[in-house]
Amino acid sequence: MFTDPDDIFVDQQTINITSAVDGVTEQIFKLFPDERSTGFSMLLNLKSSYVNHAATDSHAIDMDGKLSGSDINGCNYLSNFSEVKDSGNIYSVSIEISACGEFSGEYTGLAITLKPDNEDKPDTLAILLNNNSHAIAMELYEN
């Protein structure tokens, strides 16, 4: 499971996250709050529709931070986002994946919003999740 989101700050510039499955460290992530994301720290700012890079997956987040969506494989996603204290653009996520075979189940993790360097590109929502069996990384773009 991911480290407790409220205890992950190394300093105010970086966050280290260790993902472990069956007690074995799978991946260590470093997240960097982005000063360009000022004003992006409230759940209301997540409210939008999102797609993956190939535009085959479709997700929507409402004003309360609840995500619903599906992917090209027929997997369904329901999740809740909550703000991580003093983090700016970083959120704690709990998600339930269904109709997805061995990947179905409950996951927890973190999400980060990033504004692109190029104003012609959409905002990015990166989500890192795991449970005791699988780790999942999703990169979604505001539609």
119: Cβ contacts below 8 Å, ≥ 6 apart: none
Q: How does pLDDT run across 60-106, given as a tens digit for each residue?
A: 999 888 999 999 999 999 999 988 766 667 888 999 999 999 999 99
Which amino acid is it at 126?
Answer: A
> CATH topology for 5-142?
Lipocalin (2.40.128)
- Enter the tokens of residue 108: 């927890």
pTM over 0.85: no
Distance CA 26, CA 135 (A): 8
Whether the per-residue pLDDT at 57 is higher than 50: the answer is yes
Q: Which residues in 71-134 belong to E strands, given as ranges?
A: 76-83, 90-98, 105-114, 124-130
- Enter the tokens of residue 76: 């369904």
Mean pLDDT (the chain) is: 76
Whether the per-residue pLDDT at 12 is higher than 50: the answer is no
What residue spans define the domains of the chain?
5-142
Least confident among 35-39, 42-46, 51-55, 133-137: 35-39
Neighbours of 94 (CB within 10 A): 14
Assess contact for 80 and 87: CB atoms under 8 A: no
- Enter the tokens of residue 50: 């999102």
